[in-house]
Structure 1
Amino acid sequence: MSEKKERIAFFDTKPYDRVWFDQLNRHYHIKYYEHKLTPDSVSLAQGCRAVIPFVNDTLDKTVIDGLCETGVEMIALRCAGYNNVDRQAAAGRIAVTRVPGYSPYAVAEFTMGLLLTLNRKIHKAYFRTRDFNFSLNGLVGFDLHGRTVGVIGTGKIGQIFIRICRGFGMNVVAYDPYPLPDADFPYVSLEELLQQSDIISLHCPLTEQSRHLINADTIAQMKDGVYLLNTSRGMLVESEALLDALKSGKIAGAGLDVYEEETDFFFEDRSDMVKRDTLLSLLVSMPNVVLTSHQAFLTKEALHNIAQVTLENLDAYFKDGTVLNPVQ
């Protein structure tokens, strides 16, 4: 790699993003932009050889065409998910890399935190005691020990979540269209998982096959009073069907770190917004929902690994054209 520092455009920048990129960067002149990457902001990449976008940036054909026209050679995603990338538009024109596993522990641990908060009403107790209300009415939960958790998706995050659940004495069943050959937990069909599980946790990527995996039909197959957890991708769950099931009690509670139409809301302060997403507003207002802002990944270790792997991807490409961790 030459001594010249390549120019890189970094989009959707938050203060916590810069900490490790600034510490670990040795070879690049990184221009940080608070703007998301969209057709309107793609011109900011002019003069750069690569861009570093995040999970909710727009990487459709229009944006990819614009990047190619400005001379950008590489899209270095600083996230694992790539459902926002038009891979057909990128193929053969621009390299696209990602960070496949920055901290599976962060996401798995956060998922258990959502379950504990939801089940034991910790969020409600917190606000009560701040008002000096020490009543226990309405705070009844249930023992996790002995309950059956159904884990959909058994990649690194799913496997770690399974180990955490077993530490609580829970029974585990799993579903994955590509099961591990040496798994020490039982795989069942999706139908069996839906029927058997007291708690269902989603740890699978978003694909055409998994989009709206949780819908009115699959919810109907679940136990009455099931708990649903989603720290993967918002579009795995059909929001209207979820809302109906929460209102009817079919789903007793939902712990959500993602939402299917989150792009215009998550990672930003929208507290002054008057015109709000109706479904999102209803979900947030439900007493049996804990909804957070796509923060399951957000640990010091994960942020370090994101920066390190993203920079390694850039280093390999600008050294000899090697594409590490490609988006397939």
Structure 2
Amino acid sequence: MNITFFNSKAYDQQFFTEANRDYEHQLKFLEVPLNEHTAVLAKGSEAVCIFVNDLANAPVLHLLKEAGIKLIALRCAGYNNVDLKAAAELGLKVVRVPAYSPYAVAEHTLALILALNRKTHRAYNRVREGNFALNGLMGFDLHGRTVGIIGLGKIGLVTARILKGFGCRVLGYDIRNNEEAIQIGIEFTDLDSVYAHSDIISLHCPLTPQTYHLINEEAIGKMKAGVMLINTSRGAIIDTQAVIKGLKSEKIKYLGLDVYEEEGDLFFEDLSNKVIQDDVFMRLLSFNNVLITGHQAFFTTDALQSIAHVTLQNITDFEQGNDLTNEVLP
């Protein structure tokens, strides 16, 4: 099939080109994101491949349909940027990569926890300047601490396993019970108990109407004083303004983010020579107990190889009329 890739970077081209040797599709890579102004660029293709910050709302989907597109292939797990109802009405199929490497995201979660706790990012800069003083760098033992995990899918479960290896007590909340979680030793509980008893809270749930701004002023008020909050899932699960209030009041003592609610205008681009216009984001950066990475938790060779193969297999299944095991339905 002819496939147009939107929002593609050099690494996308590398891994998809290598994987495509097994599938022999025709790939066209575009750097521009998908939106109402760029959808016309898909003309001549039968499928588009998009990422987390591409816009696939009803108007864009109508334009894609007019351009001859039959399939929307997401090269990610999340699909909150796609109007699934509109896609179904237009006869457009939507597929995704439900699991590429849960280890990549889980391990990055632990990297954020460890860096914030032991302040390695600050220590690195000090040592480069010849400052070997330890004042302000004190951390705590993870062993024996209580960690609450909200969302016990594949990533949440891998994160829990790693934390159990550190000797942590792990509380878990999910809308479904999970036999594997019980075997790991996760203590199922409700959200209020996760908030009240956790020294660290890590978010691993999808963005849905139910999880939008799940971490808001009310939720933060129920948390332990000095809590560490980590988000490697979706930015809009956190109400950023409420979190800033929590940081100012020192209710939240550590904040680690790999995602941000308004990241579409920031992440995946080099803005080092520009003035960032997002005042809320810049306010977050002003706190010395906040560590932000630019949606890189997924970014390992293992994950990118898996994403490329699963995406291209999804497209091949559609082309050959096979069952779409990774189809997303409204």
Per the TM superposition, whether the score is higher than 0.5 is: yes
Counterpart among 2, 25, 35 of residue 7 in structure 1 = 2
Which secondary structure does the structure 2 equivalent of 1:141 belong to?
coil
Percent of residue pairs bearing the same amino acid type: 50
TM-superposition CA deviations, 1:113-150 (whole Å, max 9, x none): 00000000000000011111111111001111100000
1:18 Cα offset (Å): 1.5
TM-superposition CA deviations, 1:57-76 (whole Å, max 9, x none): 00000110000011100001
Partner of 2:157: 159
Partner of 1:127: 125
8 Å Cα contact 1:198-1:223 kept in structure 2: yes
Q: How does 1:87-236 map to 2 (within 5 A)?
A: 87-92=84-89, 93-181=91-179, 183-184=182-183, 185-236=186-237
Partner of 1:245: 246
Could you tell which deviates more after superposition, 306-315 or 86-95? 86-95
Partner of 1:39: 36
Please give the alpha-carbon distance, in whole angstroms, between the structure 1 residues aligned to 2:121 and 2:299: 20
Which amino acid letter does the alignment assign opposite residue 316 of structure 1? Answer: D
1:271 Cα offset (Å): 1.8
Greater than 6 Å deviation, 4+ residue runs = none
1:181 Cα offset (Å): 3.8
1:275 Cα offset (Å): 4.6
Which secondary structure does the structure 1 equivalent of 2:94 belong to?
strand
Unmatched runs of 5 consecutive residues or more in structure 2: none
1:247 Cα offset (Å): 1.1
Which secondary structure does the structure 1 equivalent of 2:253 belong to?
strand
Please give the alpha-carbon distance, in whole angstroms, between the structure 2 residues aligned to 1:15 and 1:27: 19
Unmatched runs of 5 consecutive residues or more in structure 1: 1-5
Which secondary structure does the structure 1 equivalent of 2:195 belong to?
helix
- Is the aligned partner of 1:22 residue 2:20? no
Q: How does 1:64-75 map to 2 (within 5 A)?
A: 64-75=61-72
8 Å Cα contact 1:114-1:255 kept in structure 2: yes
Which amino acid letter does the alignment assign opposite residue 169 of structure 2? Answer: N
1:303 Cα offset (Å): 0.2
Kindly report the root-mean-square deviation, in angstroms, between the aligned alpha carbons of the 2 structures.
1.0
Please give the alpha-carbon distance, in whole angstroms, between the structure 1 residues aligned to 2:165 and 2:149: 15
Which amino acid letter does the alignment assign opposite residue 249 of structure 2? Answer: S
Which secondary structure does the structure 1 equivalent of 2:265 belong to?
coil
Could you tell which deviates more after superposition, 32-41 or 265-274? 265-274
Please give the alpha-carbon distance, in whole angstroms, between the structure 2 residues aligned to 1:136 and 1:323: 55
1:256 Cα offset (Å): 0.4
Which amino acid letter does the alignment assign opposite residue 4 of structure 2? Answer: A
Which secondary structure does the structure 1 equivalent of 2:31 belong to?
coil
8 Å Cα contact 1:317-1:324 kept in structure 2: no
Please give the alpha-carbon distance, in whole angstroms, between the structure 2 residues aligned to 1:204 and 1:66: 31
Which secondary structure does the structure 2 equivalent of 1:263 belong to?
helix
Which amino acid letter does the alignment assign opposite residue 82 of structure 1? Answer: Y
Please give the alpha-carbon distance, in whole angstroms, between the structure 2 residues aligned to 1:46 and 1:321: 25
TM-superposition CA deviations, 1:159-194 (whole Å, max 9, x none): 000010011111111001112145232100100110
Which amino acid letter does the alignment assign opposite residue 212 of structure 1? Answer: H
Could you tell which deviates more after superposition, 23-32 or 152-161? 23-32
Paired residues, what number? 323
Which amino acid letter does the alignment assign opposite residue 222 of structure 2? Answer: Q
Partner of 1:3: none
The TM-score, its normalising length taken from structure 2, stands at 0.96
Please give the alpha-carbon distance, in whole angstroms, between the structure 2 residues aligned to 1:54 and 1:322: 23
Which secondary structure does the structure 1 equivalent of 2:207 belong to?
coil
Which secondary structure does the structure 2 equivalent of 1:254 belong to?
strand
Could you tell which deviates more after superposition, 111-120 or 318-327? 318-327
1:289 Cα offset (Å): 0.3
Please give the alpha-carbon distance, in whole angstroms, between the structure 2 residues aligned to 1:318 and 1:291: 40
Which amino acid letter does the alignment assign opposite residue 34 of structure 1? Answer: E
Please give the alpha-carbon distance, in whole angstroms, between the structure 2 residues aligned to 1:327 and 1:128: 48
Please give the alpha-carbon distance, in whole angstroms, between the structure 2 residues aligned to 1:214 and 1:170: 23
1:16 Cα offset (Å): 1.0
The TM-score, its normalising length taken from structure 1, stands at 0.97
Please give the alpha-carbon distance, in whole angstroms, between the structure 2 residues aligned to 1:278 and 1:70: 38
